[in-house]
Chain A
């Protein structure tokens, strides 16, 4: 464990807590893409298949459980909770995310660490996570002004993978036999997708104006 990875995990956790706060405090999921939340739930379920077979540390196991439970709870809440689901922007959340699923799985069959069930699903989760934010970013562009909590949610979600890139650079220089090309390249793509969001987020923070993504 290094400071970059720990900071990244804490930012990831923060993004989930901010999203939970938004949904439970405002009893609304307006501006949140259900499709992105479904993709994230799949990412965690596909990535943590080794939850009960490979014990790494208490921290690792607890965080995996937190990510799986929180992501499925958010999807459940946006679909089933009578009050919350009324505020879901169904007509705006129209990104065809099944293409992202199919493309990620196809790529995982071709490019993986080892052609085993667990490794294919691990690579699938890595590729899917890189593109999972797309429905959310498209929804933000369509829904015009973005409320603070939603903006903070996306910001922390983007920042966490940027810290993971620092973690991979650090591990590359400090550990022998360290190579995580699949995660690293995918992480670079993932962070790059947030580039324009980060730019408009910084502008809104600097000018102290409402965050607005150009359509």
Chain B
């Protein structure tokens, strides 16, 4: 289960 993606880009 891939980790929940946080938006690390602007």
Who on chain B is nearest to A48 by CB?
Answer: B10
A5 close to chain B: CB less than 8 A: yes
State the Cβ distance, A179 to closest chain B Cβ, in Å: 8
Q: Which of B1-10 contact A (CB under 8 A)?
A: 2, 5-10
Q: Which listed residue, A9, A113, A122, touches B10 by the CB 8 Å rule?
A: A9
Who on chain B is nearest to A57 by CB?
Answer: B8
Q: How far is the CA of A164 from the CA of B10 in the complex (A)?
A: 10
Who on chain A is nearest to B9 by CB?
Answer: A5
Q: Which of A46-73 contact B (CB under 8 A)?
A: 47, 50, 54, 56, 60, 63-64, 67
State the Cβ distance, A5 to closest chain B Cβ, in Å: 7
By the criterion CB–CB under 8 Å, are A67 and B7 in contact?
no
Which residues on the A side are within 8 Å of B10 (C-beta)?
A: 9, 12, 60, 63-64, 67
Who on chain A is nearest to B3 by CB?
Answer: A177
Q: How far is the CA of A185 from the CA of B9 in the complex (A)?
A: 15
Which residues on the A side are within 8 Å of B9 (C-beta)?
A: 5, 164, 167, 180, 183
Which residues on the B side are within 8 Å of A9 (C-beta)?
A: 10
Q: Which listed residue, A56, A67, A122, A177, touches B8 by the CB 8 Å rule?
A: A56
Q: How far is the CA of A167 from the CA of B10 in the complex (A)?
A: 12
Chain A residues near B (Cβ < 8 Å)? 5, 9, 12, 47, 50, 54, 56, 60, 63-64, 67, 113, 122, 164, 167, 177, 180, 183
